[in-house]
Structure 1
């Protein structure tokens, strides 16, 4: 059966970090900064684009340990902070989630916008899932997709 190698490669690619080292999904840490790609529009032709709403969702997947969101920022494609989306730190209980909406009529982020999510915990905790859900919001068929965040900084427990 010659299809096993591509399937195995695909399965392993999800488990490997960009550096080629395996990610330990059960590692508990004291905090992280997570970069989450988002898109306020996508192009289907050089002069035609579809507007998108972006919803950031952060899920505390640790069944025992609360985490605290300390910063959630929305950046434009030029890298500049467009707005801070969290006024004060917000604790997420085990399995609790927080969502933030960038409406479809807000095109300030451009094609390559992103979120920066910073969290911490007093006790070592599992890394939350941070993802963006983009949708055309038109009610009819249109583009909808998700992006998963990538940890760019980590505070290990000692």
Structure 2
């Protein structure tokens, strides 16, 4: 018996494939800007889509250094800032995390939404893990997956 994999499964495998460029996880820096893909809906057929909730999670993985989140913005698929999600700078102690939810009924971001996370530190620190967790939240089986952020700007210690 020949089974065909659903298009959604193949798309998710592609999205979750390891990045081709490895990042030096031991490098300590003074701050970064991180791009995190997010999705408020995904298409399974040309005229059918599933709504998704997106949770941004930022984890300070440095065991010794506090970092400060200075900016967390949610952008729509057109690249425009939809809203700032951080009212004021927020310190994250070692191993502390911060999460922000875009609810399932908020489709303003579209298929190609994203978060921009900016952080800084007074002394060199390890890059935090920034990822988005998307889920259908319907109570039944539905799509759930994560995306990992990509550093797009880095401040090195002089």
Q: Please say whether Structure 1 and Structure 2 have the same fold, judged by a TM-score greater than 0.5.
A: yes
Q: 1:14 & 1:145 partners in 2: Cα distance? A: 14
Question: Deviations for 1:92-122, whole angstroms, at most 9, x for unmatched residues?
Answer: 0000000000000000000000000000000
Q: 1:96 & 1:157 partners in 2: Cα distance? A: 23
For the aligned residue pairs, the C-alpha RMSD in angstroms reads 1.2
Matched-pair contact (CA < 8 Å) for 1:16–1:23: no
Q: 1:157 & 1:88 partners in 2: Cα distance? A: 24
Which position in structure 2 is the counterpart of 1:99?
A: 99
Gaps of 5+ in 1: 1-12
Which ranges of 4 or more aligned residues in structure 1 deviate by more than 3 Å?
13-16
Which position in structure 1 is the counterpart of 2:12?
A: none
Gaps of 5+ in 2: 1-16
Question: Deviations for 1:26-49, whole angstroms, at most 9, x for unmatched residues?
Answer: 000000000000000000000000
Q: 2:45 & 2:111 partners in 1: Cα distance? A: 14
SS of structure 1 residue aligned to 2:29: strand
Structure 1-normalised TM-score? 0.87
Which position in structure 1 is the counterpart of 2:82?
A: 82
Structure 2-normalised TM-score? 0.87
Distance 1:43 1:14, change over 3 A: closer
Write out aligned runs for 1:1-158 (5 A): 14=18, 16-17=20-21, 22-158=22-158
